[in-house]
Amino acid sequence: MELRPVGIFQGMSDADLKKVARTMREIRHPKGAEVMARGAQGVGFMVILEGEAEVKTVDGRSRKLGPGDHFGEMALLDAEGRSASVMARTDLVAAAVTEWGFKPFLMEHPTIAYRLLETLSRRLREAEASHGTNAKRSGRS
Ligand code: CMP
């Protein structure tokens, strides 16, 4: 499995990418497959290698993800089940880490852990901004 220095792997050297690849496993989903179901228990963290996925969040919004984007970290971090559903928009190839391998994976690759925090921070801002808009719309403060 060959990892490219994009998205969560951006800026990593070939040697580091090879090291990361040894701790991940390639998985494939056909177009239209449900990759993650909201509420289900989480068993893996994934980084897209080829293709596109669509995240359907609890507020009914969807977000497109492509090569280098990751998903599936939340249920592994808080053990509260999948926060959103994820579908394969095209045939999808991803690199995956299992639930039990996730913490050691982050400890071994702090650059990846930092990227993950950047994404979570950005998502929290988006969620808070949209909460503000929804609250205004419904008259709540
Ligand atoms: P997890 O909750 O394990 O499974 C569903 C995944 O969808 C979740 O982890 C995130 O990786 C991803 N996800 C959830 N909410 C959003 C969002 N607002 N934008 C992009 N991805 C999201």
Among 62, 71, 102, 126, residue to substitute to test ligand 1 (most atoms within 8 Å of Cβ): 71
The more confident residue out of 135 and 60 is 60
User: 3-17, 18-32, 122-136: which has the minimum mean pLDDT?
Assistant: 122-136
In angstroms, the CA 122 to CA 129 distance is: 11
Say if strands 25-29 and 92-98 run parallel, antiparallel, or are unpaired: antiparallel
Q: Tell how far the Cα of 63 is from the centroid of ligand 1, in angstroms.
A: 9
Question: How many Å lie between the centroid of ligand 1 and the Cα of residue 123?
Answer: 9
Closest CA to ligand 1's atom 11? 71
Residue 115's identity, in one-letter code, is: R
Q: Which residue reads 């249920």 in tokens?
A: 75
Atom of ligand 1 nearest to the CA of 75: 3
Phi-psi group of 136: left, alpha or beta (phi > 0 → left; psi -120 to 50 → alpha; rest → beta): alpha
Find the 140 Cα to ligand 1 centroid distance in Å: 26
Helix 110-138 vs helix 99-108: angle between axes, to the nearest 10 degrees? Answer: 110
User: What's at 97, amino acid-wise?
Assistant: V
| Pure H helices in 23-141 | 73-78, 99-108, 110-138
Neighbours of 68 (CB within 10 A): 17
* pLDDT score, position 67: 98
State mean pLDDT over 25-39: 98
pLDDT at 136: 58
- At 92-132, the pLDDT tens digits run 999 999 999 999 999 999 999 999 999 999 999 998 998 77
Residue 12 CA to ligand 1 center (angstroms) comes to: 24
Cα-based distances in Å from 65 to 11, 73, 83, 95: 19, 14, 16, 14
Query: DSSP secondary-structure letter at 141?
Result: -
pLDDT (tens digit per residue) in 50-80: 999 999 999 899 999 999 999 999 999 999 9
Give ligand 1 pocket residues (Cβ under 6 A). 36, 42, 55, 57, 63, 71-75, 82-84, 86, 123
Residue 10 has pLDDT above 90, yes or no: yes
The whole-number pLDDT of residue 130 equals 83
Q: Given this model, what pLDDT does residue 134 score?
A: 63
**1-28 per-residue burial string, b: 16 or more CB within 10 A, e: under 16:** eebeebbbbeebeeebeeebeeebeeee
